[in-house]
Amino acid sequence: MIGFAENITLGEVLGLPDIANEVIRNLSEQLMALHKRVRWYEERLKQVAKEDARVRLLRTIPGVGAVTASAIIASIGDGHRFCNGREFAAWLGLTPANKSSGGKEKLGRITKMGDQYLRSLLVVGMTSLVRQTRSHPESASKWLTSLLERKAARVASVAMANKTARIVWAVLTRDETNSPVRQPEKKGTTS
């Protein structure tokens, strides 16, 4: 689309009436200006992300990039307004709705009650991680690969976003990089 707009702004004429060519050229110039501004903000955001220690901490989490990390910092700061990671995930709308009745536990779909922008950024980041896991399972998290064996990719992406929201909260409140918890070896096994 940008290539087409560039050609139009450079004077390419379509086989249309003059007024239509003028409108398309005008819109193409606006599109090019907007594209240039978006690129400038992307570069600025990358620069700010390098300077902010909290953004650097969040970027240690797989699937969390500069845009997501910056948006989280802008929305929740250091994360201390939430008591725990589950509360933060619930605020984002990433926790399942509880539909229990008569003593039977039943969890439904995610609530989607929170910040739609942050939730979608996390889900998109985790969708990318799920795709990486499918193409390179040997370097992926064992938790995610086992989840993908049982659930559809979209469900796994949302579950991973929920888990990542909890990790984000822990990283921010502890002011430490993300370090995966190692499972202790079972007794009687050899390496």
Residue 1 has a pLDDT of 65
Rounded to the nearest 5 degrees, what angle is found at the Cα of 183, between the Cα atoms of 182 and 184? 115
Query: What is the residue-level pLDDT of the chain in tens, covering all 191 positions?
Result: 667 666 666 666 677 788 888 888 888 889 999 999 999 988 888 888 888 889 989 998 998 988 899 999 999 988 899 999 999 999 998 887 776 677 776 666 676 777 889 999 999 999 998 988 888 878 778 888 888 888 888 888 999 999 999 999 999 999 888 766 544 444 544 44
Q: What is the pLDDT of residue 38?
A: 92
- 1 Cα distance to chain centroid: 25
Quick one: pLDDT at residue 172? 93
Q: What is the pLDDT of residue 185?
A: 47
Which pLDDT does position 135 carry in this prediction? 82
* Domain ranges, ordered by start, for the chain: 2-47, 53-174
pLDDT score, position 181? 54
Is the Cα torsion angle 137, 153, 172, 60 positive or negative in sign?
A: positive
Q: Which residues of 49-76 are buried (b: 16+ CB within 10 A; e: fewer)?
A: beebebbebbbebbbbbbbbbbbbbeeb
